[in-house]
Amino acid sequence: GENVEQHPSTLSVQEGDSAVIKCTYSDSASNYFPWYKQELGKGPQLIIDIRSNVGEKKDQRIAVTLNKTAKHFSLHITETQPEDSAVYFCAASRLNSGYALNFGKGTSLLVTP
Amino acid sequence: GAVVSQHPSRVICKSGTSVKIECRSLDFQATTMFWYRQFPKQSLMLMATSNEGSKATYEQGVEKDKFLINHASLTLSTLTVTSAHPEDSSFYICSAPNGLAGGTDTQYFGPGTRLTVL
């Protein structure tokens, strides 16, 4: 089955700095890679996703890059704000397969003012 | 984006009782829904896949007789924790893929249900 590794487990940055979270996956058949943000006591919220036919995707301050050859993908948050503080999860799956998402263990991001 | 709701958001029950959690897709239909469990400071662990019109598929180690799943309609799946014990206390979250949204499998999560068994 798919195994998703996520690093770092905790990340602390100052407001305005960039934050990068990295994930690797094992199943070469995986072709869908979403990122979720989870605030305390709430369900995960999709913030960005990327499919394997694309190498990079950006949405305002958030970007995701994918290296299929190396089987790793990364989340980049620029100009971080205190409200970006949360736990971020990467995941991998196969599109149109009905497969559930395989999650990384999460990264607790703290943005200090 | 699509909206998934869960009810109740929080439940406290006595050991030995059963608890039902509902998961609804509010603005789209979902033939498949997923149930996850999350312990404090841990990742989401898939428990089972709920299939409309057929039996649920359970992950290894998840007791199907303890965690009953019923996909009653294209917008509703329920998870019943039977004879709950304190070790079942956890955060239960459902998700539904919105395959109708441009052919994507984007999964939307409910807000979660905090179960506490005394």
DSSP letter for each residue of B5-53: EEE-SEEEE-TT--EEEEEEESSS--SEEEEEEE-TTS--EEEEEEETT
- Cα separation, B32 vs B53, whole angstroms: 10
**Each residue of B85-101: pLDDT tens digit?**
999 999 999 999 876 54
- Lookup: tokens for A72: 């790793």
Nearest to B76 by CA among B107, B30, B113, B108: B30
CB-closest option in A45, A49, A105 to B43: A105
Instruction: State how far residue A27 is from chain B, nearest Cα, in angstroms.
Output: 17
Nearest to A47 by CA among A7, A91, A100: A91
**Looking at residues A65-91, what average pLDDT do you find?**
97
Residues in B touching A106 (Cβ below 8 Å): 42-43
Question: Taking CB atoms and an 8 Å limit, are B107 and A46 in contact across chains?
Answer: yes
Instruction: State how far residue A85 is from chain B, nearest Cα, in angstroms.
Output: 15
**Each residue of A101-110: pLDDT tens digit?**
899 999 999 9
Contact between A96 and B105 under an 8 Å Cβ cutoff? The reply is: yes
pLDDT band, very low/low/confident/very high, at A96 (cuts 50, 70, 90): low
pLDDT band, very low/low/confident/very high, at A98 (cuts 50, 70, 90): low
- Cα separation, A102 vs A106, whole angstroms: 12
Nearest CA in chain B to A43: B111
Give me the amino acid identity at B100: L
